[in-house]
Structure 1
């Protein structure tokens, strides 16, 4: 329900709401946590977008499962069983699974989107007036005359706020030079767009640029539509995400590793040989933010160049049943995963002619396909963003990208740094936009803690008069 947006509110700055730009997972959790703290929040979201769903839980079908077990998907860090209760803990869910197996279950992403929408609806009902919604597109944030901030909307409205939080979530994949200029539906640049695969016939030959979780989502979507044609998935190393164990490991807390750089990699490998790689990676989860921040920019860059692909496939895993289906498609010859680089692409009648070079060789391979889908994952570089608000803030120097181009440059309190490196305004970011500070800021367990902590911080601050 849209609100009547204040043009020049008469509230004192400290009594104005917090404006949250984006109503996906991050924005929804922050609004609910602010309401719990007794602070008014206004979610600014585009029309036609389901609140709480966002990209991860909106553009998906029933075949798309969460990548984290239900036991760790509560919206609230202080109530870890909240999602389990919503699912019906203790009652056998569909498919004959016993209630005791539910914590190990990988629920559907569509169900999780409904869960988040319910969390928001229940908060609004229980705390009337504390969470409002403004339908519209923000294109700028400027200081107001009384020390607050003013959100300018595309239709001329303005919303005054004590603080503004950017929570736009994931951006579409970055464009690829070899596929630039080739029109849809031959090239599908945004695999999360509505009806992205409607033009792909069941017998079409499909090329996927990327072999991570985005590619897994696309393969599942095509498979669910009855696709029978060949699928070729290409990435520099040809690595697929690893699978979760059928039963989640119980990991005892471990101290923060003291090793850094290559010595840290050696430490993790040694632990993997001792306790298994699932345990070795999961032991690091409470420490990833501290480990990332303990490395200077040069060390972070080395990690991104050399270790990131291996970290990603072990850290960001597939549900076991999805991994089994992917393996079956490979065994049937319908899916081929290769390592290499895409060098060129051009139209060849109604098809695409691709030239790619297998890893470790000098001889390029020519392949004809009907469609190419960019599956390289969300583009974290805000300098390539198509979001109108980010583009405006960056262009006039009110924000800047972090050194590794993983998101925005923010201070330890999640405030945006301007072109000069100063964080002078109550202008914040959360979620994937803050990967430059925290690295692992894409999963529910990380973002729910950030939402709680940021809400407590915002509830305490007072905008100077």
Structure 2
């Protein structure tokens, strides 16, 4: 790379946790970056912008440092600024984590003046190494990193009907729901849990029915961090069915949490070594169980869910959604469960099915795919990437100047939504991009 190119910034599209912490890490390595965020809230992103302290971290505070080589960074910050929340074993409010991310970004900017430039605007295209804003402004760089977070759910299409809440993360999306209204929820994972916590905090007293393919709820963390077990070769190699049988035996002998902790540091390697066919079988048959055991709840949040179930205010149903039919004052969900067709209805339907990765998920993604500079992963997990995080063009060749970081990189790295996993990817990208 010539001197002129090396003096240009790394352009980071998305100023949430992934983008902001990459910018901070690059600055600490002497690399200038331009951080572009659609709004003015640089740092927290959607996940940590909540003002509701019922929304807790799903990982213990002691494991949530934003910096790989400073494991106590977050708990040290808590001890200084919020000492009542500084227990490393606890699950701090996500609001506080958002404040911590902002603090780290601001502190790094002050320590390395001129190395982080903030730009507020919407990126609609990437041309070469430049990001194009909706205003027409061109921001030139030496590489572009897409850290855009998850797209909104798309199970309920556009959600233009007033009774369908297609994206529960939209500000005030749940405020129209009255205290005694019943709700249907598509999906039974962590987003569903957040929705129930938000509703409860605004005085909601109704009943909720959550529908998912398997009808599984996220499991709870134990009272303390579980030490990982050393996994034997038969849990790491061979047919998936044989590995699963081994895992079940290990879980019976040692507890499933310890087994999952054993897999955590090597999941990336296992996913990278898996064939496309193996990945597809995993997604079809094992993913629901992986997700509920891997992405767990704080014990106190799990207890609140249990209480809602005991009070008959939360019912979880397994079924396959066939269609959604809105009317003037309700929404009907037609599903197939136990080989029989059923219909559920309620005044409101909330889509908590997870990110909707497709060619039109965002204008930026659509533009990249349309020009052949990107393509979707065959399993529809997100953009197709190589093992360094570079976007694959339509012909499969990796683009040398375009990278993806965070949740949209799931196709290549599988676990890219939790801070400990994103933290590793930030270090790897920093090594690649710092000059």
Give TM class, smaller chain. over 0.9
Secondary structure of the structure 2 residue equivalent to 1:58: coil
What CA deviation, in whole Å up to 9, does each residue of 1:414-435 have, x standing for no partner?
A: 1111111112431111111211
1:260 deviates by 4.2
Secondary structure of the structure 2 residue equivalent to 1:43: strand
What corresponds to 2:155 in structure 1? Answer: 175
For residues 77 and 347 of structure 2, the distance between their equivalents in structure 1, rounded to whole angstroms, comes to 43
Q: CA 1:164–1:183 in 2, change beyond 3 Å: closer, same or farther?
A: closer
Q: What does residue range 196-207 of structure 1 map to in structure 2 within 5 Å?
A: 196-207=173-184
1:267 deviates by 2.0
- 2:272 equivalent among 249, 269, 293: 293
1:236 deviates by 1.4
1:321 deviates by 0.2
1:361 deviates by 3.7
What corresponds to 1:233 in structure 2? Answer: 210
Check if 1:166 corresponds to 2:146.
Answer: yes
1:354 deviates by 3.3
1:345 deviates by 3.3
What corresponds to 1:262 in structure 2? Answer: 241
Check if 1:314 corresponds to 2:273.
Answer: no
Secondary structure of the structure 1 residue equivalent to 2:434: helix
For residues 31 and 441 of structure 1, the distance between their equivalents in structure 2, rounded to whole angstroms, comes to 18
Secondary structure of the structure 2 residue equivalent to 1:354: strand
8 A contact 1:37–1:456 mirrored in 2: no
8 A contact 2:31–2:434 mirrored in 1: yes
1:322 deviates by 0.3
Secondary structure of the structure 1 residue equivalent to 2:217: coil
TM-score, length-normalised on structure 1?
0.89
- 1:137 equivalent among 122, 131, 140: 122
What corresponds to 1:146 in structure 2? Answer: none
1:90 deviates by 12
Q: CA 1:265–1:384 in 2, change beyond 3 Å: closer, same or farther?
A: farther
For residues 3 and 90 of structure 2, the distance between their equivalents in structure 1, rounded to whole angstroms, comes to 47
Flag structure 2 segments of 5+ consecutive residues without an equivalent: none
Between Structure 1 and Structure 2, how many residues are aligned? Answer: 432
1:445 deviates by 0.5
8 A contact 1:59–1:192 mirrored in 2: no
For residues 255 and 453 of structure 1, the distance between their equivalents in structure 2, rounded to whole angstroms, comes to 28
For residues 184 and 109 of structure 1, the distance between their equivalents in structure 2, rounded to whole angstroms, comes to 31
1:182 deviates by 5.8
What corresponds to 1:304 in structure 2? Answer: 283
What CA deviation, in whole Å up to 9, does each residue of 1:81-135 have, x standing for no partner?
A: 00010110798516xxxx6xx1110011111111101110000011000011111
Check if 1:28 corresponds to 2:20.
Answer: yes
Q: CA 1:420–1:355 in 2, change beyond 3 Å: closer, same or farther?
A: closer
What corresponds to 1:18 in structure 2? Answer: 10
For residues 171 and 182 of structure 1, the distance between their equivalents in structure 2, rounded to whole angstroms, comes to 14
RMSD, matched Cα: 1.9
8 A contact 2:163–2:330 mirrored in 1: yes
TM-score, length-normalised on structure 2?
0.95
Secondary structure of the structure 2 residue equivalent to 1:219: helix
Check if 1:416 corresponds to 2:407.
Answer: no
Q: What does residue range 210-249 of structure 1 map to in structure 2 within 5 Å?
A: 210-249=187-226
1:335 deviates by 1.1
